[in-house]
Amino acid sequence: MPEITPEDIQHAEKLIGIEFTDEEREMMLEGLEDLRRYYQALRGVDYPNDLLPAFRFDPELPGEAHPPIHPPASEIARPPLHRPDDLDDLAFWPVSDLARGLRQGLFTSVELTERYLDRLKRYDPQLHYVITLTEARAMAQARRADEELRSGVDRGPLHGIPWGAKDLLAVRGYPTTWGATPYRDQIIDEDAAVVQRLDEAGAVLVAKLSMGALAWGDVWFGGKTRTPWNTDEGASGSSAGSGAATAAGLVGFSIGTETWGSIVSPSTRNGVTGLRPTFGRVSRHGAMALSWTMDKIGPMCRSAEDCAWVFAAIHGRDDRDPTTVNKPFPWPPDLDGESLRLGYLAADFEKDYRGKENDARALEVFRAMGIELVPIQLPDYPISALQFILFVEAATAFDELTRSNRDDLLVRQVKDAWPNFFRLSRLVPAVEYIQANRVRTRLMAAMRELFQQVDVYIGPSLEGDNLLLTNLTGHPSLTLPTGLADDGLPTTITLTGRLYDEATLLALGRTFQAETDFHLARPPLDGKKSVLK
């Protein structure tokens, strides 16, 4: 390899924004040669994607107050169900109604599964959301669910309900492509922890759904996933297929993942309800690693209540993912909404942005529910400057792709895409990465103080620093549809809660949706725009 010179160091100084003297540069030369040999030695080690680093992120600071445990609420009264004349209408029923319909014998899991599989095949040419149908597995699971329910074995509200998995979750016997050409034939010979838990809950996996290549955007090797609200428009990412398929009535619910907006953004673009749980709530074993300190897995559904039932099935400690925790999830909680302290990000709501009118209407709904809204401000730190934490970790996870030049196989080769950011991240000094994480600790402490003032706060889903900030601190969020904008595409607001307090978020979301019908809006794929039951 070429010898390192003082001039090389001087060029590097421009990149890191620090200037050394001539004497200091001379003194560094031998050490830099040593470091380069160390790098070469480390590059001889095999780094599978599931190899964890020796450090782990914990969103809970010492002395963290635990969220309250609410007593269980009584079962809410529900209107009677009837089998629809058009079984396509079943595709838009929430999980709670599908579960009741199965137990009342209005239809079978096999009927439901066949209907969703038919719709997946019918609309994929328009929306491009299916990477792999799991038809044989699904039909076997549906037949078993019907047999168990007939014999009195009831695994819970997801028993017999078809669902779709973002294709970064491993499923034994099927490709797990991560949406990227270099991995399109990859088969991981195990089921991801989330898949295992949903199997145990009796849910029926019908498809592995598209994701932006390596979890960025809505473009993958099969094309661009489209939103069912306008098939000329993308579905956002990276949980693009999960958002589009749920909105289009192609699955009963789906699983997405988020590192920086990949549940919130496609929930917004497709008009579905998305829960991003607290970091460490759901096992990531068997899921593609992008950022070990930021990746989270959560449900994308038609309603907050649906998200609650799915989350109840998938959360909990898993020794294979050392970041996971055992924390209670009391659902449904007996929650007095009027006693909640609900903050709102006043400065963000005052900006001029798409969907502002719908967001203002949503705030009025909360006020009409008797909830006082308290203006709050986020901690005053350089939030956007911390984004390279994600990029450095992602570049590490896919370092072999960069060094082998196989990153050239990815579809998107532009400035704002992974290949460029993987290369850029190689030039981030390790000192700055650690310093950024120290600022992150300050942020976590500031958020703890904020949540001494409010129980939950609300903000525009995609405005300001809230999305990046709360992904860095590990706080849970719930994204709720608020209608359609002038462009005909959905809008949402996002609730953010205390660590491990998904129950309060979901209960507040369920109450909001009991007062509104935004989450029931139906895209025009079938020529119908209302839910028929």
Chain CA centroid to CA 459, Å: 18
For residues 251 and 129, what is the distance between their CA atoms, to the nearest angstrom? Answer: 11
37 and 183, same domain (yes or no): no
Report, as an integer, the average pLDDT of 498-520.
96
Which residues, 6 or more positions from 309, have their beta carbon under 8 angstroms from its beta carbon?
Answer: 95, 96, 156, 157, 158, 331
Would the pTM of this model clear 0.75, i.e. be above it?
yes
- What residues contact 178, with CB distance under 8 A and at least 6 apart? 167, 168, 186, 211, 213, 214, 215, 288
Pair 363, 344: CB distance under 8 Å: yes
| CATH code, domain with 521 | 3.90.1300.10
The C-alpha atoms of residue 470 and residue 476 are separated, in whole angstroms, by 8
279 lies in some domain: yes
Backbone angles phi, psi at 448, to 5 degrees: -60, -40
In the structure encoding, which two tokens stand for residue 221, read together?
Answer: 């090797």
pLDDT digits (tens, 9 = 90+) for 76-100: 778 899 999 998 999 999 999 999 9
Take residue 392 and report the two structure tokens written for it: 């450095």
- Residue-wise pLDDT for 209-251, tens only, equals 999 999 999 999 999 999 999 999 999 999 999 999 999 999 9
Q: To which H or E segment does residue 139 belong?
A: helix 135-150
Write the Ramachandran bin of 143: left for phi over 0, alpha for psi from -120 to 50, otherwise beta.
alpha
- Rounded distance between C-alpha atoms, residue 326 and residue 99, angstroms: 27
pLDDT at 527: 66
Residue 530 pLDDT exceeds 60: no
The answer on 273 and 206 residing in a single domain is: yes
d(CA 61, CA 500): 13
Same domain, 98 and 203: yes
In contact, 315 and 282? CB cutoff 8 Å: yes
- Residue 533 confidence (pLDDT): 30
How many C-beta atoms lie closer than 10 Å to residue 383's C-beta?
Answer: 20
Region 199-213: mean pLDDT is 98
Please write the tens of the pLDDT for every residue from 407-451.
999 999 999 999 999 999 999 999 999 999 999 999 999 999 999
| 31 found inside a domain | yes
Q: Which residues are catalytic?
A: 166, 238, 262
Residue 35 pLDDT: 94
Looking at residue 135, its pLDDT comes to 98
- Tokens representing 277 are 């749980």
Residue 217: strand, helix, or coil: coil
DSSP assignment letter at 522: -
Strand 296-301 to 253-258 pairing: antiparallel
Contact (CB, 8 A) for 267 and 302:
no
Residues 438 and 342 reside in one and the same domain:
yes
Q: How many domains does the chain have?
A: 2
On the question of pLDDT at 531 being above 50, the answer is: no
What is the pLDDT of the chain when averaged over all its residues? 95
> Does one domain contain both 296 and 349?
yes
Could you please report the per-residue DSSP string of 18-44?
A: ----HHHHHHHHHHHHHHHHHHHHHTT
State whether 21 and 150 are in the same domain: no
Task: Write b or e for each residue in 99-112: b if 16 or more Cβ atoms lie within 10 A of its Cβ, otherwise e.
Answer: bebbeeebbbbbbb
Helix/strand/coil (H/E/C) assignment for every residue in 219-232: EECCEECEECCEEE
202-221 core/surface letters (b: 16 or more CB in 10 A; e: else): bbbbbbbbbbbbbbbbbbbb
Q: Who contacts 53 (Cβ-Cβ below 8 Å, separation ≥6)?
A: 292, 396
Residue at token pair 């038809």: 135
Pairing of strands 130-133, 253-258: unpaired
Residue 269 lies inside a defined structural domain of this protein: yes
List the domain range (segments joined by +) for residue 513: 87-323+335-382+434-526
Does some domain include residue 157?
A: yes
Residue 223 is encoded by which pair of tokens? 């094309």
Residues 33 and 125 in one domain: no
Contact between residue 215 and residue 168 where contact means Cβ atoms under 8 Å apart: yes
CA 362 – CA 516 distance, rounded (Å): 9
At 28-71, the pLDDT tens digits run 999 999 999 999 999 999 999 999 999 999 999 988 667 777 77
Same domain as 150, residue 20 = no
Based on the domain organization, do 141 and 242 belong to the same domain?
A: yes
Q: Are residues 165 and 281 in the same domain?
A: yes
At 374 the three-state DSSP class reads: strand
How confident is the model at residue 158, as a pLDDT? 98
Q: Are residues 111 and 186 in the same domain?
A: yes
Residues 445, 513, single domain; the answer is: yes
